[in-house]
Amino acid sequence: MELPEALYRGVLYEYAVLVTSLQDEVRTIAQHYRDRGDSENNFDELKNQWGWAGFTTHDRNRCQVMARITALVYNWWTVFLRLGIPEKHAEAITSRPLALYGIARRRRHGNQTKVEVTSTHSKASAIAAALSKVNGFLQRIKANAEQLSPRARWRLILSAAFQYFLRGKVLGGTGRLAQATG
């Protein structure tokens, strides 16, 4: 479909017509449209980057197991990356190469295990900053973990992962995330 175009002072504008029965203002309707597009992006990503487009077996049980495993991995990946990059959703097509193009070495000394990751990606500094942020947060949680119930730890982890949407509040609590993770 071709959209009508107009050239005005050297700038080419495209016009589209949206017909709706909503009573909202134009700006509100435009925001509804953007929100709808954002929610559809997750389904597109699951189908195209995570392989949720379909499975090649006619066995319903196996299909359900694979669909659930895919959803679980997608959810864990999203939560993990939200800890490092809380202000935006990192799509798989860019985040997986960024976070997975690395070589890790595990070191054990005494009663500690450390993992050192050397990235081969051109944006290694960006992922290093995100991973350092995640590491720092998890170290703060670990320092207080004995005092917290497993449920309270998960509330803090999910609150940190989704702090952008929660505006810094703790899930199911009254405090602020910064205070809780000190």
The predicted-structure confidence for 58-117, as pLDDT tens digits, reads as follows 888 988 888 899 889 988 888 888 888 888 888 888 888 888 888 889 999 999 898 888
To 10 degrees, the CA torsion angle through 31, 32, 34, 39?
140
Residue 182 scores a pLDDT above 70: no
Residue indicated by tokens 């392989």: 51
pLDDT reported for residue 107: 93
| Amino acid letter for position 80 | F
Instruction: Provide the whole-model pTM.
Output: 0.66
Give ∠ CA 94-44-28 in degrees, rounded to 5: 100
The structure tokens listed for 158 are 């999910």
Question: For residue 124, with 0-12 CB atoms within 10 Å meaning exposed, 13-18 middle and 19 or more buried, which class applies?
Answer: middle
Q: How confident is the model at residue 178 (pLDDT cuts 50, 70, 90)?
A: low
Alpha carbon separation from 77 to 65, 70, 118 (Å, rounded): 18, 10, 20
Residue 98 has what DSSP assignment?
H
CB 115 within 8 A of CB 106: yes
Mean pLDDT, residues 2-22 = 81
Other beta carbons within 10 Å of 176: 15
Q: How confident is the model at residue 4 (pLDDT cuts 50, 70, 90)?
A: confident
Residue with the bigger pLDDT between 38 and 166: it is: 166
CB 51 within 8 A of CB 39: no
Contacts of 49 (CB under 8 A, 6+ apart): 91, 92, 93, 96
